Amino acid sequence: MHVPVQAIDRETWRDGLASKGTRLIPEETPLALTYNGGTYAVMMGTPQNLEDFAVGFSLSEGIVKSADDIRSLEVVRLDDGIELRMWLAAEDAARIGERRRHVAGPTGCGICGIESIAEAVRPAAVVPHGQTFTPEQIMAAMQAIAPLQSINLQTRAVHAAAFWSPAGHIVGLREDVGRHNALDKLAGALARGRTDTRGGMVLLTSRVSVEMVQKAAAIGAPVMVAVSAPTALAVRTAEAAGITLIAIARQDGFEIFTHGGRIVARHATEVADVA
């Protein structure tokens, strides 16, 4: 049964007393991504927004350049998992034939099955300069995520990736037990909705690894903000990609690791508007 949340019986021991009841916990399901009949990867993930995941994964992996390159997409629910069947043009299918992984990826695995170091640390796409943002906008954007996390409100056990638009609100949010999956789902939703990402921010409820930077760069957003710290390689990758990397974002502030010129105090933007 492929639903995102399950009610599970459990026993609680607290303050010396035992009690029984149920708890809502997120589901975890094998997700097979296939192209033109061949399996490329099997990931563990939350069985929700699977069309978005298939498109976003294909884009972030460089399998396709546009969502339109996927000629057809079918979600096939099997007894022991879900198959995301995609069909590409013959030339695109031939290009990925040599990269086919045939591996199972653990939950949230971002680069499992990659066969060379060069592939794992490939340069991220360089993003456009984009507009400037105020600290108040960044903190308001991050605070807006929690109420929109429907699965996490029930389980407290999944990651989220969201996109904040220059209009001042979140235009897309996706959840998954895997942080990489959540970001791929967001990428797919933005691509399918033809959202202009050049002036917005990618928001993450997880830490920032190099794969997360690579995926955010593929989305094209100039700024990414996360609640946890980045790795050193993620910082170097964001610097090279032209991404403003903000992490350890809390209600009272955040830390800027790269390209801080995009973050401007409110009074500075007001002066610029007057001028």
Give the separation between CA 229 and CA 260, rounded to whole angstroms.
Answer: 16
Q: What is the pLDDT of residue 107?
A: 57
Could you say which of 109, 227, 246, 247 is catalytic?
Answer: 109
Q: What is the pLDDT of residue 275?
A: 45
pLDDT, averaged across the chain = 89
Q: What is the pLDDT of residue 118?
A: 54
Q: What is the pLDDT of residue 94?
A: 77
**Model confidence over 171-214: pLDDT tens digits?**
999 999 999 999 999 999 999 999 999 889 999 999 999 999 99
- What residue type is 149 in one-letter code? Q
Grouping H, G, I as helix, E, B as strand and the rest as coil, residue 166 is coil
pTM of structure: 0.90
Task: Tell me the percentage of the chain whose pLDDT exceeds 90.
Answer: 75
Residue 121 has pLDDT above 50, yes or no: yes
Asked if residues 176 and 209 have their Cβ atoms less than 8 Å apart, the reply is no
Give the count of alpha carbons within 13 A of 213, CB side only. Answer: 31
Q: What is the pLDDT of residue 91?
A: 81
Q: What is the pLDDT of residue 103?
A: 46
**Model confidence over 80-107: pLDDT tens digits?**
999 999 999 988 887 776 665 444 555 5
Give the count of alpha carbons within 13 A of 196, CB side only. Answer: 8
Give the separation between CA 84 and CA 63, rounded to whole angstroms.
Answer: 14
Q: What is the pLDDT of residue 97?
A: 67
Q: What is the pLDDT of residue 112?
A: 54
**Model confidence over 245-265: pLDDT tens digits?**
999 999 899 999 999 999 999
Q: What is the pLDDT of residue 227?
A: 97
Phi, psi dihedral angles at 202 (to 5 degrees): -90, 130
Q: What is the pLDDT of residue 96?
A: 78
Grouping H, G, I as helix, E, B as strand and the rest as coil, residue 197 is coil
**Model confidence over 203-242: pLDDT tens digits?**
999 999 999 999 999 999 999 999 999 999 999 999 999 9
pLDDT classification of 268: cutoffs 50, 70, 90: low
109 annotated active-site: yes
Asked if residues 158 and 175 have their Cβ atoms less than 8 Å apart, the reply is yes
Per-residue three-class SS string for 23-81: EEEECCEEEEEEECCEEEEEEEECCCCHHHHHHHHHHHCCCCCCHHHEEEEEEEEECCE
Grouping H, G, I as helix, E, B as strand and the rest as coil, residue 175 is strand
